[in-house]
């Protein structure tokens, strides 16, 4: 027989608004995929080679299923974006065998996110930013994240995210103005 204190402790362990694990079954996951697979796919398409997007999208969704009790209710998409960022970083660290004849003489330092930008002036302004500022600007502009969502992806508090976005916007404006 469970005591009242033990029952309260179980409820206290769960964050307010989160569903109990039992409710995070197949219907929850199907809704997550239906609502968020396309934005995650687009996020990845702007950051990795086209032939890797499908596999990495599946990896992100697989992680969401395995760690479903950690996905915050109401902030699923920011959590998925943050996870996708880690998946992209791990993907880039993997070494793939390349024939010596196929290795270019000069390193290609282009950020895949920059390659998606067609306007040369915008590309140069974004390239002038630090990788962190560029990430913040693109999460805001392309993924539509602000406030709590941006904070969740960056792994910082709301105030820090608001300040980081403000600084990144200022630096982008300065980089834009320096071109003209």
Q: What does the pLDDT look like over 145-170, one tens digit per residue?
A: 888 999 999 999 999 999 999 999 99
Q: pLDDT for 36-84, tens place per residue?
A: 999 999 999 988 888 999 999 999 999 999 999 999 999 999 999 999 9
| Separation CA 148–CA 162 (nearest Å) | 9
Give CA angle at 146 (33, 177), nearest 5°.
125
Lowest model confidence (mean pLDDT) among 19-33, 67-81, 101-115, 125-139: 101-115
pLDDT at 113: 59
pLDDT at 4 over 70: no
At 36, which helix (H) or strand (E)? helix 26-45
pTM, two decimals, is 0.61
The per-residue DSSP string of 44-75 comes to HHTTS-GGGHHHHHHHHHHHHHHTGGGSPTT-
| Burial category of 33 from C-beta neighbours within 10 Å (exposed 0-12, middle 13-18, buried 19 and up) | middle
Q: pLDDT for 101-120, tens place per residue?
A: 655 555 455 555 555 566 77
pLDDT at 13: 40
In terms of pLDDT, which residue wins out, 111 or 136? Answer: 136
pLDDT at 28 over 90: yes
pLDDT at 15: 46
Best CA proximity match to 172, nearest among 142, 144, 143, 130: 130
């Amino acid at each position: 027989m469970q005591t009242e204190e033990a029952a309260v402790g179980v409820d206290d362990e769960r964050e307010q608004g989160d569903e109990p694990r039992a409710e995070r079954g197949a219907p929850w996951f199907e809704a997550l995929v239906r609502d968020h697979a396309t934005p995650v796919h687009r996020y990845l398409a702007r950051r990795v080679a086209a032939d890797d997007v499908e596999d990495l999208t599946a990896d992100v969704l697989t992680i969401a299923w395995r760690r479903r009790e950690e996905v915050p209710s109401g902030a699923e998409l920011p959590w998925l974006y943050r996870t996708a960022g880690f998946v992209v970083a791990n993907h880039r660290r993997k070494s793939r065998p390349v024939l010596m004849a196929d290795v270019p003489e000069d390193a290609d330092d282009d950020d895949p996110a920059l390659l998606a930008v067609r306007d040369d002036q915008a590309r140069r302004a974004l390239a002038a930013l630090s990788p962190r500022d560029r990430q913040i600007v693109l999460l805001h502009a392309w993924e539509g994240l602000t406030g709590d969502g941006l904070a969740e992806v960056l792994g910082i508090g709301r105030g820090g995210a608001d300040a980081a976005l403000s600084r990144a916007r200022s630096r982008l404006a300065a980089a834009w103005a320096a071109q003209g």
